[in-house]
């Protein structure tokens, strides 16, 4: 992925040497936007729907950079309740997306690289399973391929996140009503067992949509697999992610019992691993625009709790320079991996006042599930 750096972001990304021989990357987006302004429903309004939004790798430092790039405003500014989430897992201080996402999805900490399973490898049902058992509809929308850790945390079970052939096969039995993301190759040509999981999903009753037009026409249950691997980078895909989310909201909200939906800005993390601030920030800003869409939908609905968090922070990023009026940042990366700094947790809508303080990621997961009734 690093090879895309200069072909995509060369116009706005450059580096300068610092006095201590370290380097700063400067970035300025050409896609600033207005944010939404929404009024919260009453705290005691009935909660029918819960929307969980995860910015993979999106710590407070990444959010701060996005805020400067958009000249001092983000849709996240609408959230009246903010807390902190500690992300360590059972066998390591520094988590990965498998363990970090499972804690949010299932309300239980687990071991590094586990997805939807406990340290003893037993299955941990996610909040989507609880919702389905209550008769609610469920959805998952991501910008990554479906074999990546976070969607698997909510939909699949395996002791090792890189057992990707087995994880993809789990989707045929996951029972999630609306699935949208990338990774067709993981269902077909990347497999070594000769199976075509799209055919198995079709046999299980899913409508399989392999392009946006088909996804927009399909009824549930549906899986939209809209790219061979991850979705195209933010600037190339335009508003595709936002349209995928909007279609999910439209379909899921037809249920009179409500729904639970997980939405992930997955590729923020990928580009932070590559220390590419430009591509990482464009993913974060696209995620924030999607947050704005969700808040407007939820405000009109009046019965939806929206939470936003991260599974961990990535890149040991520091904001060292920039200009708020110009929307320009100068940053320095400290690593290509994750770190153990607590990440922000945001809540909006009825019930949101319960989501304050400093908690373990598993406790946030338990709290989310407590509002699924």
pLDDT digits (tens, 9 = 90+) for 120-161: 999 999 999 999 999 999 999 999 999 999 999 999 999 999
Sheet with 137-145: strands ordered across: 207-209, 222-225, 178-182, 137-145, 259-265, 49-55, 304-309, 343-348, 81-86, 357-360
pLDDT level of residue 12 (50, 70, 90 thresholds): low
Does residue 219 sit in helix, strand or coil? coil
Distance of alpha carbon 121 from alpha carbon 110, whole angstroms: 9
Distance of alpha carbon 55 from alpha carbon 305, whole angstroms: 17
Residue 116 C-alpha from the chain's centroid: 16
Distance of alpha carbon 190 from alpha carbon 227, whole angstroms: 13
Distance of alpha carbon 188 from alpha carbon 170, whole angstroms: 14
Per-residue pLDDT averaged across 354-370, rounded?
98
Which is it for strands 137-145 and 178-182: parallel, antiparallel or unpaired?
parallel
277: Cβ contacts below 8 Å, ≥ 6 apart: 13, 25, 27, 65, 271, 317, 329, 331, 333
Distance of alpha carbon 347 from alpha carbon 298, whole angstroms: 12
Q: Which H helix or E strand runs over 64?
A: helix 60-69
- In DSSP notation, 309-333 reads E-S-EES-EEEEEEETTTTEEEEEE
Ramachandran bin of 310, using left for φ above 0, alpha for ψ from -120 to 50, beta for the remaining angles: beta
Distance of alpha carbon 201 from alpha carbon 223, whole angstroms: 8
pLDDT of 19 reads: 46
Per-residue pLDDT averaged across 322-343, rounded?
98
Q: What is the pLDDT of residues 187-239, one digit of tens each?
A: 999 999 999 999 999 999 999 999 999 999 999 999 999 999 999 999 999 99
**φ, ψ for residue 330 (rounded to 5)?**
-125, 115
Residue 28 pairs with which residues in a beta bridge? 328
* CA nearest to 296, candidates 347, 246, 353, 346: 246
171: Cβ contacts below 8 Å, ≥ 6 apart: 146, 155, 156, 179, 197, 201, 223
pLDDT of 15 reads: 53
Cα four-point dihedral sign 24, 25, 28, 32: negative
Distance of alpha carbon 224 from alpha carbon 241, whole angstroms: 12
Q: What is the pLDDT of residues 54-104, one digit of tens each?
A: 999 999 999 999 999 999 999 999 999 999 999 999 999 999 999 999 999
Secondary structure in 3-state letters for 120-150? CCCECCCHHHHHHHCCCEEEEEEEEECCCHH
Crossing angle of the two packed helices 277-301 and 60-69, in degrees rounded to 10: 90
Distance of alpha carbon 163 from alpha carbon 332, whole angstroms: 34
Distance of alpha carbon 137 from alpha carbon 236, whole angstroms: 31
Would the pLDDT of 245 be above 50?
yes
Distance of alpha carbon 235 from alpha carbon 240, whole angstroms: 10
pLDDT level of residue 13 (50, 70, 90 thresholds): low
For 49-315+339-370, which CATH superfamily applies?
Alkaline Phosphatase, subunit A (3.40.720.10)
Assess contact for 187 and 208: CB atoms under 8 A.
Answer: no
pTM: 0.94
What residue spans define the domains of the chain? 49-315+339-370
């Amino acid at each position: 992925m690093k090879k895309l750096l200069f072909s995509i972001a060369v116009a706005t990304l450059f580096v300068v040497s610092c006095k201590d021989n370290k380097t700063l990357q400067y970035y300025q987006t050409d896609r600033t936007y207005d944010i939404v302004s929404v009024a919260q429903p009453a705290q005691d309004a009935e909660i029918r729907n819960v929307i969980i939004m995860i910015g993979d790798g999106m710590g407070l430092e990444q959010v701060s950079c996005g805020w400067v790039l958009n000249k001092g405003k983000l849709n996240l500014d609408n959230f009246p309740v903010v807390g902190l989430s500690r992300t360590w897992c059972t066998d390591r201080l520094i988590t990965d997306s498998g363990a970090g996402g499972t804690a949010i999805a299932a309300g239980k900490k687990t071991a590094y690289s586990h997805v939807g399973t406990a340290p003893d490898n037993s299955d941990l049902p996610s909040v989507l399973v609880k919702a389905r058992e209550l008769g609610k509809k469920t959805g998952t929308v991501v910008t990554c391929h479906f074999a990546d850790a976070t969607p698997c945390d909510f939909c699949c079970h395996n002791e090792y996140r890189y057992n990707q052939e087995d994880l993809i096969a789990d989707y045929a039995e996951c029972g999630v009503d609306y699935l949208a993301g990338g990774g067709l190759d993981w269902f077909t040509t990347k497999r070594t067992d000769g199976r075509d999981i799209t055919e198995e999903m079709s046999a299980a009753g899913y409508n399989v949509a392999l392009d946006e037009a088909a996804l927009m026409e399909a009824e549930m249950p549906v899986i939209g697999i809209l790219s061979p691997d991850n979705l195209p980078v933010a600037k190339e895909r335009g508003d595709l992610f936002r349209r995928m989310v909007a279609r999910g909201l439209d379909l899921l909200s037809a249920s009179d019992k409500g729904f639970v939906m997980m939405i992930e800005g997955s590729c923020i993390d990928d580009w932070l691993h590559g220390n590419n601030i430009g591509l990482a920030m464009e993913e974060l800003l696209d995620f924030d625009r999607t947050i704005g869409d969700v808040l407007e939908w939820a405000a009109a609905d009046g019965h939806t709790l929206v939470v936003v968090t991260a599974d961990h922070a990535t890149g040991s990023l520091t904001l060292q320079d920039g200009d708020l009026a110009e929307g320009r940042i100068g940053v320095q990366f400290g690593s290509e991996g994750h770190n153990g700094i607590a990440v922000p947790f945001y809540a909006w809508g009825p019930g949101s006042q319960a989501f304050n303080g400093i908690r373990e990621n598993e406790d946030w997961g338990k709290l989310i599930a407590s509002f699924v009734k």
